[in-house]
Structure 1
Amino acid sequence: MTVRILVATAVEPEAAAVRAGLAGGGVEVAAVGVGPAAAAAGTARLLATAEAAGTPYGAVLSAGVGGAFPGRAAVGGLVLATRSVAADLGAESPAGFLPLDQLGFGDPVGRVDPALLAGLRAALPTAVTGAVLTLSTVTGTETTAQALATRFPDAAAEAMEGYGVATAAGQAGLPFAELRTISNLIGPRDRSAWRLDAALAALTAAAPALITGTLALATARP
């Protein structure tokens, strides 16, 4: 049986970078939109359409460019999420930020499949592992960067879509993982310091490992 893997990126340049590194079948890449809402809706639509057509996916990977916490990952490097956290989904309070679970409204963490993560780590041995934060507003000040680093000491990177893709995958009962290549360090916003070309090239270089890291897991599952 042919196993299909969905790689969901935010924008088409990321999708094109992944496709450029793919030499075999079984992996489909789609740009599903920027931000957690668009990512969840776009991924859910693709999963439902495939299921209805009798060609379901076997695993879902959120992939694309992100920013790294200084000292935790390097520009041009890779980060594999140990969990995808909706870091700004909750409420402010005089005592500090209250995440979704403390409000009693659900789980702010998108769960990464342990076996899928293990397969990807084996295929991408240079990747840093840690939490990847999903934010609707990209960090652009030192104050926010330090606050996030304190709240999430295991965080290696931030992006805008992982939790949304994880939500769609979880509701479909599919294993999920997240890969980020790093274009910049998190802190005061300095667009001139971003290295998008290096991050996109890293996506292309990592693409063959996505096949070996995800297809082996999905093929082994019933």
Structure 2
Amino acid sequence: MLVVTAVAAEADSVAAGLGPGGDPEVPLPGGFTLRRLAGRSAVVDVLAAGVGPAAAATATATALAAATLGARAPLGTPVRPYDLVVSAGIAGGFAPHAPLGHVVVSDALVGADLGAETGDGYLAVEELGFGRSVHPVPRTLTERVAGALAHGGQPHVVGPVLTVSTVTGSADRAAELAERHPGAAAEAMEGFGVAEAAAAYGVPVVEIRAVSNAVGPRDRAAWRIGPALDALRNAFRLLGSTVFPTVPVDPEESSS
């Protein structure tokens, strides 16, 4: 399994949640480095890919290509094809659906601003006749992740996670996104890029985000980054011994 975060702090929370133990570093082409969490109930590679969908897609595709080609790390441990990709981190939550400290489990990863503005409103790339802006998550995968969090007492919600290149900073923009994407639970900057890379290699993908702030006007005093990282760590603690050892799932199964 491959877990992709934007920054090292998120990767640290994921690794801490999955349990104690040595984390060998596996170099990849392009200067990327995997942290291999060996000795857990499931072997997990964690990759801090950088901020934004382009960086996330590039790093994820590099890791998937190396695994598919059977590249070997200097440690002598083979990099094997992945059966699941997880985009993980903290995010803004759409109030009141996704409160601070809750974990969001995606049922779709959405490129929220991948389209065109017209005189009649926004058109997604599907409406323009090319490309895609939505990657559904296999329903059983979403249900298994949400079920494990519920069983462990971790507050969570299920819904689409939107990927944007510019973080929302106004109430009007938050309302526009919520209207355009009914049921949206969170907004982040990497998930769609991760999903594009995973889809190219036929690997199922899910996004797991802990809510650190509300989507809308930027109010740094109201951000709760520390508690969100704690919630992310707890989510991976719960999933590391339940859902992750039981993958794969059927990548062709739609959540719709």
Q: Structure 1 residue 18 and structure 2 residue 35: aligned?
A: no
Work out the CA distance in 1 between the residues paired with 2:43 and 2:51: 25
Structure 2 runs not aligned, ≥5 long: 20-39, 71-78, 252-256
Residue 19 and residue 45 in structure 1: after superposition, are their counterparts in 2 closer, same or farther (change >3 A)?
Answer: same
Q: Structure 1 residue 215 and structure 2 residue 245: aligned?
A: yes
Work out the CA distance in 2 between the residues paired with 1:160 and 1:210: 23
Query: 2:200 is aligned with what amino acid?
Result: Q
Residue 182 and residue 91 in structure 1: after superposition, are their counterparts in 2 closer, same or farther (change >3 A)?
Answer: same
1:107 pairs with 132, 150, 156, which one?
A: 132
1:78 pairs with 75, 95, 103, which one?
A: 103
Work out the CA distance in 1 between the residues paired with 2:142 and 2:173: 29
SS in 2 for 1:58: coil
**2:90–2:209 contact (8 Å) kept in structure 1:** yes
Report deviation, 1:220.
9.4
SS in 2 for 1:143: helix
Work out the CA distance in 1 between the residues paired with 2:59 and 2:136: 19
Report deviation, 1:219.
8.2
Residue 150 and residue 20 in structure 1: after superposition, are their counterparts in 2 closer, same or farther (change >3 A)?
Answer: same
Query: 1:210 is aligned with what amino acid?
Result: L
Equivalent position of 1:201 in the other structure: 230
SS in 2 for 1:97: strand
TM-score by length of 2: 0.81
Identical columns (%): 48
**1:120–1:209 contact (8 Å) kept in structure 2:** no
Greater Rg by CA: 2
Report deviation, 1:209.
2.7
What is the CA deviation profile of residues 8-61 of structure 1, one whole-angstrom value per residue up to 9, with x for unaligned ones?
Answer: 001110000110111214112111111111111110100111121261111101
Report deviation, 1:110.
1.6
Work out the CA distance in 1 between the residues paired with 2:126 and 2:115: 8
Work out the CA distance in 2 between the residues paired with 1:132 and 1:161: 10
**1:32–1:39 contact (8 Å) kept in structure 2:** yes
Give the ranges of 4+ consecutive aligned residues of structure 1 lying more than 4 Å apart after TM superposition. none
**How many correspondences in the alignment?**
217
1:38 pairs with 50, 55, 67, which one?
A: 55
RMSD, aligned α-carbons:
1.6
**1:66–1:182 contact (8 Å) kept in structure 2:** yes
Q: Structure 1 residue 94 and structure 2 residue 119: aligned?
A: yes
1:60 pairs with 75, 85, 105, which one?
A: 85
Query: 2:245 is aligned with what amino acid?
Result: L
**1:119–1:214 contact (8 Å) kept in structure 2:** no
Structure 1 runs not aligned, ≥5 long: none
Query: 2:186 is aligned with what amino acid?
Result: A
Work out the CA distance in 2 between the residues paired with 1:174 and 1:68: 26
Report deviation, 1:111.
2.1
**2:148–2:243 contact (8 Å) kept in structure 1:** yes
1:69 pairs with 83, 94, 118, which one?
A: 94
Equivalent position of 1:186 in the other structure: 215
Equivalent position of 1:141 in the other structure: 170
